[in-house]
Structure 1
Amino acid sequence: MIKNIEIADMEIKGPLIKGSFIERPNRFITIVKVGKKSVKSHLSDPGRLREILTPGRELYLRKAIESEHRKTDYSTILAKYNGELVSLVTALPNQFVKECIDSRILLFLKDFELVKPEVVHGNHRYDFLLKDKSGDLFYLEVKSVTYVENGIAKFPDAVTDRGRRHAQSLQALVETGFQAGI
């Protein structure tokens, strides 16, 4: 069991339990071998994850806080892929990017400050609204990348209408004078 781990200086709190992937009966459930038993675990990432979720793949789970609304006792947190830990928690990239914005370690965003996370503009919700020193606004969308081909991270791992509409909405923001990026 891992107590706490840091990924690129971001700590994932709480003990993690090592297991190995068996199967994925639907988009939000993994069956994982932990010790000698198989457990059902919630998976927050609905992506294809074909390269990541392969039989025998080392996974790290967290015991869930008991809730009458949960259908599983565990959450799938990380996978080990080519010697690296890959996040399978869709909220984690936003937490990581927020820490990077706040500490100004992303060079291309060093002149921006956070105005508001989870901001709505028109019919779309964006992960972050930033502002530069001139007061110009920048809409930032963060994506978790789990698909890697020939050492290059690629997004998305499958064509989606939602993703296309989101990219088009960012383009429309740029065309009306805002700054925007993914």
Structure 2
Amino acid sequence: MKIEKTIIQGCYIIEPTIFEDERGYFFESFNQQSFEELSGLKTIFVQDNQSQSTYGVVRGLHAQLGNYAQAKLVRVLEGDVMDVAVDARRDSPTFGNVVQVELSAENKKQLFIPRGCLHGFSVISEKATFFYKCDNFYDKASEVSVNPFDESLAINWKIATDEAIISEKDKNALSWSKFLKA
């Protein structure tokens, strides 16, 4: 397993070691001990989630705040997505930074997103199955959303805005500037 630091403090791109032969391939998608040794982070995951979406779907930007903040380890089981994290931790030296990484079933890369960061993704293949581990349970009351197409964040979703399929919740989410004032 290789871990690459990103421009967001505590956010890592994880690339597994893949063993391939005539039968197919094998890799460890997660190893707690290796993750802790390489990242210096101690995280215990308590909830797994999975979604499937079609081309053009944009989900996010979401986070949970306070006692229900979640760190996430995300990956793609089928297809290809543009995955995005935004550092929304006001006391972070990387506050406001954006990380974008293409995750796919083919490249098998994963992104670890620390607590307090917004997260979202867009589907850039015909369809995608997205999987993520969370270190805290879902709590609707602590959820916050920022509009994924807020121009001040300058996120390239690899989907034209007029082609994006987005929920009403995300369309009506806070702007980044309103989030900063909240």
State the TM-score, normalized to the length of structure 1.
0.29
Tell which structure's C-alpha radius of gyration is larger: 1
Normalised by the length of structure 2, the TM-score is 0.29
Query: Which of the pair has the greater relative contact order for Cα pairs under 8 Å at 6+ separation?
Result: 2
